[in-house]
Chains A and B, each alone.
Chain A
Amino acid sequence: MDLRTLGHGSLPLLAGAVVICLVAVAYAHAAYTPATAGHLLDGCLEELLPLFCGFTASTLLAGDQALELQASARRALARLALVRLGALLLLTLASGGVVYIAGVAGLGVIVPRSAPGELVLTVLAPALLLAALAFGASIAMRAAPPASTLILALVAAENIAPGSLSSGPLRWVFLFATTYTPHEPGWLVNRLVLLLGALALLALGAIAASRPGTALALAHGDSP
């Protein structure tokens, strides 16, 4: 029932993201080479779907009007957030699966990292990091829109300057390694660093969510 309390607001957004991915990959496949279409497919899996995940994660608690009731009950708010986040990640991965199967099996698109584990990490690592960042930011800033803006700015920055952000020490936290540097030897380490960073951010977010006053601030914009 926790998931039903989230409402259906994010489903049209997800459906829209999947449709955009499918149309873009189909167009690239028709107009360019399968490898170029594969590059675009990786971009969809690694950028567009995780961005959706991040946007939705900013509303996991912020904006939940019934949070005052939730916070007055025994169960920790962090648990509610984690259940919702888990469902959101599964939905994102399932959408990634649909896009991948349509692109590779349906159109014959070629992607550089096609092992099942690599595909999961391609979607999961940036999705979890953006979701954790958006979740933490929404609690820190007491609202979802600034948190969404923050992750949008991050995604934009990584696409504007991928060359400088995917080299040097920053390469370990570069979100889109599969899209821009798929053959670099540190790809797996990059994915693991992103996942660990996301877990650390989630832990901080969960601690912040459990503080008295947070629920009211998120539900009503109060400032305790």
Chain B
Amino acid sequence: MNVTLRDLTKHYRRGVTALDHVTLSFATGMFGLLGPNGAGKTTLMRILATLIAPTSGNAQIGAWSVSRRRDRAAIRAVLGYLPQDLQLYPELTASEMVDYVALLKGVNNSHKRRTRSAALLDVVGLTDVAGERVKALSGGMRQRVGIAQALVNDPRLLIVDEPTVGLDPQERVRFRNLLADLARERVVLLSTHIVEDIAQSCQQLAVLDHGHVAFRGTVAELTANAQGCVWHTHTQPPASATLVASMPTPQGTSWRTVGPPPAADATPAEPTLEDGYLALMTRKPRP
């Protein structure tokens, strides 16, 4: 399945432009979406999830357009969606919550629903608390219920917005691996602030900034973007430098910066995806 966005634009009522002529395409596999707060990532995902309509332009998911009313039902049938601000029904148990979403997604056979819910709760490691009410679960557990409900209809397009928020490092790695596994036979669109999640699981990514596509390419290409402009220094960098990290060492504080050499003693360092992202964002003139 291919997802193609052409000149996708979204204006909100108060004159805010969340997306401005965004053109992108991606296919089966894991596609990462990076960008600062307010870049338009969530708006883009909500348009793809048919929750809001674009002001102009089009998003095509397979043969269906998000702008056509009759296509929206078809898109929802193949969609798995984990929203950024996940809210569940507190009175339902974890198992009932997943079962209920399966019902909403058209799985009418109750035996099939129960089997699927149990299998997914096992996948996300919640079998032991399947009978607990959602209100009694921890934030991380609720997030895992959210992940299970997103997978309940075996979606061909999986949209996950900040999915690893609230998960501990072990759960994060486990979830990343699960997404990578799922992406072998479906489109997975992953939006996150955690650059490491993208670095470890996506081949392709886009960076959104103020509603524009600031970058579209591979993880290696974005990382290479910072080649020759990542530095280590033991001299306090100037305030104008883009500071990535400061680390106390036996020799004094060590700083890592992105940009021009911050001091005479600066030595070049191997860039990471985070460096590439920061280099891109600091170079790009803000609209």
Contact = CB atoms under 8 A, between A and B. Distances in A.
A16 interface: no
Interface stretch (B103-111, B173-181, B213-221, B224-232): B103-111
B91 interface: yes
Given A1-B96, A1-B100, A74-B76, A66 B51 contact: no
Nearest to A67: B87
A117 interface: no
A215 B96 CA distance: 22
Interface residues of B, number: 33
A131 B104 CA distance: 24
Contacts of A220: 85
A220 B13 CA distance: 15
B89 A66 contact: yes
Nearest to A213: B52
Interface residues of A, number: 23
A219 B83 CA distance: 12
B13 A74 contact: no
A12 interface: no
A4 B92 CA distance: 7
A210 to B, nearest CB: 9
Given A68-B87, A73-B76, A212 B96 contact: no
A212 B52 CA distance: 5
B155 to A, nearest CB: 10
Contact of A213 (B51, B81, B83, B88): B51
Contact of A215 (B51, B72, B92): B51
A158 B12 CA distance: 39
A213 B47 CA distance: 9
Contacts, number: 78
A69 B152 CA distance: 13
B204 to A, nearest CB: 24
A22 B64 CA distance: 57
A24 interface: no
B14 interface: yes
Contacts of A212: 50-53, 72
A212 B72 CA distance: 10
Contacts of B79: 72
A60 to B, nearest CB: 14
Contacts of A4: 89, 91-92, 96
A74 B108 CA distance: 12
Interface string A45-72: 0000000000000000000011011111
Contacts of B51: 68, 71-72, 212-213, 215-216
A66 B52 contact: no
Given A213-B51, A223-B12, A224-B52, A73 B104 contact: yes
27 contacts: A1-B99, A1-B100, A4-B89, A4-B91, A4-B96, A5-B92, A5-B100, A7-B91, A66-B89, A68-B85, A69-B81, A69-B86, A69-B87, A69-B149, A71-B51, A72-B50, A72-B76, A73-B101, A73-B106, A74-B76, A74-B106, A213-B52, A216-B52, A223-B12, A223-B13, A223-B14, A224-B13
Interface of B: 12-14, 46, 49-53, 72-73, 76-77, 79, 81, 83, 85-92, 96, 99-101, 103-106, 149
Interface of A: 1, 4-5, 7-8, 65-66, 68-75, 212-213, 215-216, 219-220, 223-224
